[in-house]
Every structure is written in structure tokens, then in C-alpha cells.
Copies of this chain bind each other. A is one copy, B any other.
Amino acid sequence: MVNTMVEKSTEDKIVDAAEKVFIEKGLAGARMQEIADEAGINKSLLHYYYRSKEKLFEMVFKMAFKRFVPNLIKSFEQPGDFEAKVRAFIGTYIDTIEKIPHIPVFILSELTNNPRRLVEIVKGLNVDLTPVLQTIQNEIDNKRIRPILPETLIVNVLALCIFPIVAKPMVQNLLLKGDQEKYRLMMSNRKEEVARFVLAAIQI
């Protein structure tokens, strides 16, 4: 890697451009020409590096998925009590999604359009949340939080983190009547609000 900070390699340019266009437009809506333009290269080069549109898309989907399911366990393994872990988890995940707000809908949408093939990819990238589930169960067993299916608690936390960000157009235009400032306000202390909401919901 001699070209450090000089210019991106052609392949990197392709990856970045493909990611941008596919996530914005979806597989069906994306055009190879648009990806080539975005990358500043010739359309044929896309086929030279990746044989087909499908192959290019698959690469992007996998990348997007890995970003969407980052190391959730790591953030949960913060030192401290359960409350600290929950707060760390929520903080990390809201930060993650705010950086990639379009990825969750992209993934869910493509999973709807082509369930069979993509579900295989999802399964392939096996994510293990066992430690998190066990920590939750341990809290329940020791009567430090109320009984709840551990998986349900995780789903609830993810829902509260992800939904307001991916549903921004609807929250802002429908619920907040287009008031951008109010949306900003709502999201500015979202981490604290979600943490408070969740912790109150599970306290004994």
C-alpha cells in the first residue's frame, strides 16, 4: 500500500460507490451506470472486478449487514452493573444506527424482495448473543429485574433504538408536523430517554 492517502484503488472506489447506490436505491432500482459514475470509472470495469450486478450486490449486502449487527456483545460486556451494561448497549447501538440510518430499511426491504437467497447470507454471518441472553437471565434469576423472555428484552431495546431513526420521514412529517427542530430535540437525548424507559420497564 504505497498510495497511502494519495488515491483510492479502483476496487475501493467501486465498493464505496456500490454501497452508496445500492443502499439508496435497492437492488432493482440501482443502475450499473450510476455506480460507475459515482465511482468515476467506466461501466465495464464493474464487470471486470465483479462478474455481475448480483455479485456486486451480494458483496454490498454482506458489508451492510455486518455494519448493522456490529459487536453488540462487546458493548454489553462493559464493566459495571446491569444498568451500566444496558446503557452502554443502547448508547453504542444508537450511535451505530445514526451513522448508517438507511441500512436497516435496506436490509429489511431486500429480505422481503428476495427472502430465500438473502436469509442464507444472514444465517452464514452467525452472530452469537448467548452471553447477553445469559446475563439477562441471571438478573431475572437473582430477582434484580422482573421476569421477561431475554430475547423479548433485546427486541424491545433494538426496536426503541432503531425505529425512530429509520422512521424519521414519518415521525417528522406526520407526528411532528414537519417540525425539524422538535425531531432534533427528541433525538438529542434519545439515549438517555431509551435507557430510562427500558430500565423503568424492567425494574422490580
Contact = CB atoms under 8 A, between A and B. Distances in A.
Interface of A: 24-29, 69, 102, 105-109, 111-113, 115, 119, 122-123, 127, 129, 146, 148-149, 151-152, 154-156, 158-160, 162-164, 166-167, 169-171, 173-176, 178, 182, 186, 193, 196-198, 200-203
Contact of A175 (B24, B154, B166): B154
What is the oligomeric copy number?
2
A156 B160 contact: yes
Contacts of A107: 170
Given A109-B26, A182-B151, A200-B203, A163 B170 contact: no
Given A26-B28, A111-B170, A201-B197, A186 B149 contact: yes
A2 to B, nearest CB: 38
A127 to B, nearest CB: 6
Main secondary structure of the interface of A (DSSP, over half): helix
A69 B174 contact: yes
Given A113-B26, A200-B201, A151 B176 contact: yes
Nearest to A69: B174
A101 to B, nearest CB: 9
A105 B103 CA distance: 12
Contacts of A164: 155, 159
A106 to B, nearest CB: 8
Nearest to A194: B156
Contact of A122 (B109, B151, B169): B169
Contacts of A171: 151, 155
Nearest to A104: B167
Given A28-B28, A151-B175, A155-B175, 5 more contacts: A26-B29, A155-B163, A158-B163, A159-B163, A200-B200
